[in-house]
Structure 1
Amino acid sequence: MSAAVTSARARLRGLSLAQRGALGLLMLLAVFAVAGPWVWPDPVAQDLSRFLEPPSLSEPLGRDHLGRSVAGRLASATRLSLLIAVACVATAIVAGMLAGILAAWRGGLVDTVLHGLSEAFVALPALLIVLMVSAMSGGELWTLYAGIALAQWIEYFRVVRARSALLLSGPAVEAATLLRLGPMHVLRRHLWPDLRPLLTTMATFGIGTAVLAVSTLGFVGVGVAPPTPELGQMITEAFPFYHEAPWMSVAPALVLVVVLVGLLGLRTKESAS
């Protein structure tokens, strides 16, 4: 435990000021997403007598056109978007990494089939894939998750396949093969240490892309089904009341900005290097 704490402290000390600020923004957003539902427990409860109620101490973002807590809905929507994004990226990384290593290791027909499958997905815009899957779901979360994961696994596959092919043809892996150390040794000692920084950077930007995809689908009305709170859906619902209650549409848009700026700032130094 102490070694893990020491390692975490060392990593924090190695972050630039911009990265620390970005990490702080993301942590504040995560705390809001986790703690928000405890403060505002029912984001779908309506009270029409509180139509467009202005912000107050108990309701810092006021109430929407149906008398629902905007802060409560924003916290739930933020938590939902982040959970879906992390789940999609984790699935895409596992699928893309395994398929990429398998294609580079086995070659031949396996490589041809997997490469052809990835090219077929590349031929379609990523958002179109998500849109088609989500349009058939009727707002079900699992199909939204599946659509985004399907759209994202390709980039991990292509990067891992290309990098693994170089590593597997190198002298270190050839020596391990001659010594009959086995595939797990090659994967643990030679492939994973080299692939981990690449996948970490890609995953960071992938989370931002997934959050944007979820919000875009909600904005056009084919994402999460109402009354479940979702960032893009909240922006769309608030548009007709922008002049009376501008905070209703500004708040979810600001959350998206914080997510993207935080993720971008967190990886800027590493990406540049």
Structure 2
Amino acid sequence: MKDFLRGFRDFLTSEDTKFTLILFRRNFLNIVGTAIILLLVFTAIFAPVLSPYDPIAQNMDERLAPPSWKHILGTDQLGRDILSRVIWGSRISLLIAVVVVSISLLIGLFLGTISGYFGGWIDEIIMRLTDMFMAFPRLILALAVAAALGPGIFNTMMAISFVSWPLYARLARATALQIRNETYIEAARAIGASTARIIFRHLVPMTLPPILIQATLDMGGTILTAAGLGFLGLGVQPPTPEWGVMVSDGRRFITEQWWVSTFPGLAILLATFGFNLIGDGLRDIMDVRAKR
């Protein structure tokens, strides 16, 4: 762990990282995407302050009320304030995205680095296992796992994590294959560095740039997958204010009470758009670094 932390510190303080940060600030897509995500994070953190009503409090006298000054985004079929539920839903969606991407990244980074560094039968076993997972559509496999585990926020995170790690493993393996025979790796072996030190001090930090870009892009995809599971009843369960569940609740009223599904759907769109902008901007920056 000390070798990994030391290698990660060297990665953060390197000249290439500083150059990347300069390019990040100059990229318009990054600025827009960062502003959207900062707004999402701010909303999630200060949800109790920003929310005008209790997100699960029912008021049947005001059910399906259209947007007004009292209820800016209207109310749902149980009279719950949609704005409050969208605000609190940002917490659930952001929590799921962060936890799922973190778990998937760690699993994929570990397996991919091990596979690329050792090669041989270890590489064959890990890559064939990866191919098995990638042979199924992500959402379909997540649905199967979620159905086996049962509904709930914890099971939702586990189900999505279970199907999201293979791409990280592929990226980590590709980088490890490229650099495992570099001169500085050979020098580390020559001076007696252990395998664990070489992997965590040298290989893992080098695999981080492409993996972090993919992780940023996956944040939006994870929010969409979680919303899809919630929409189908296999994700977060009512009355928890989760965006996918809210869209599902409003599908019966979409032709007349359009606001019930529209506003949580727009929240999903905005969050996914923000993460995709940051990911695309970082990918453009990596191209500039490669051309430099």
- 1:88-127 mapped onto 2 (5 Å cutoff): 88-127=100-139
Name the SS of the counterpart of 2:237 in structure 1.
Answer: coil
Quote the Cα distance in structure 2 between the aligned partners of 1:179 and 1:60: 67
**How far is 1:68 from its partner?**
0.8
Q: 1:24-64: per-residue Cα shift (whole Å, max 9, x none)?
A: 11111222222223334631221111112233445321221
Kindly provide the CA deviation profile for residues 100-122 of structure 1, in whole angstroms up to 9, marking residues without a partner as x.
11122233332222122112112
Shift of 1:12: 8.5
Query: Partner residue of 2:37?
Result: 26
Residues 239-248 or 208-217, more deviating: 239-248
Q: Distance in 1 between matches of 2:127 and 2:200?
A: 24
Aligned to 1:175, the other structure's residue is in SS state helix
Question: How far apart are 1:91 and its partner, in Å?
Answer: 0.4
C-alpha spacing 1:29/1:177, structure 2 compared with 1 (3 Å): same
Q: Distance in 2 between matches of 1:57 and 1:129?
A: 43
Q: Distance in 2 between matches of 1:98 and 1:138?
A: 28
Name the stretch that deviates more: 150-159 or 103-112.
103-112
Displacement of 1:193 in angstroms is 3.5
* Alpha-carbon offset, residue 98 of structure 1: 0.7
Q: Distance in 1 between matches of 2:253 and 2:138?
A: 32
Contact 2:97 2:222 in 1 (8 A): yes
5+ long unaligned stretches in structure 2: 1-11, 288-292
Write out per-residue CA displacement over residues 211-254 of structure 1, whole angstroms, 9 at most, x where no aligned residue: 01011112222222222222122112112223443222221111
Cα separation, 2, equivalents of 1:116 and 1:164 = 17
Distance in 2 (alpha carbons) for counterparts of 1:102 and 1:57: 58
Do the aligned partners of 2:53 and 2:81 also contact (CA within 8 Å) in 1?
A: no
Aligned 8 A contact 1:41 1:72 in 2? yes
What is residue 219 of structure 1 aligned with on the other side? 231
Q: Aligned match of 2:242 in 211, 230, 233?
A: 230
Is the CA contact (8 Å cut-off) linking 2:25 and 2:31 kept in structure 1?
A: no
Q: Which residue of 2 aligns with 1:149?
A: 161
- Gap change, CA 1:212 and 1:173, over 3 Å in 2: same
Q: What aligned pairs does 1:1-273 form with structure 2 within 5 A after superposition?
A: 11=22, 14-38=25-49, 39-40=51-52, 42-272=54-284, 273=287
Task: Report how many residues are paired.
Answer: 267
Counterpart residue identity of residue 34, structure 2: L
Identity level (%): 30
Q: Deviations over 1:161-210 (max 9, x none)?
A: 12102211222201111111334543355323321211110100111111
Unaligned runs of 5+ in 1: none
Using structure 1 for the length normalisation, give the TM-score.
Answer: 0.89
Instruction: Supply the RMSD in Å over aligned alpha carbons.
Output: 2.3
243-252 vs 114-123, greater mean Cα deviation: 243-252
TM-score (norm 2): 0.83
* Cα 1:87/1:229, change in 2 over 3 Å: same
CA distance in 2, matches of 1:97, 1:21: 29
- Once the two structures are overlaid, the 10-residue window that deviates more, 148-157 or 161-170, is 161-170
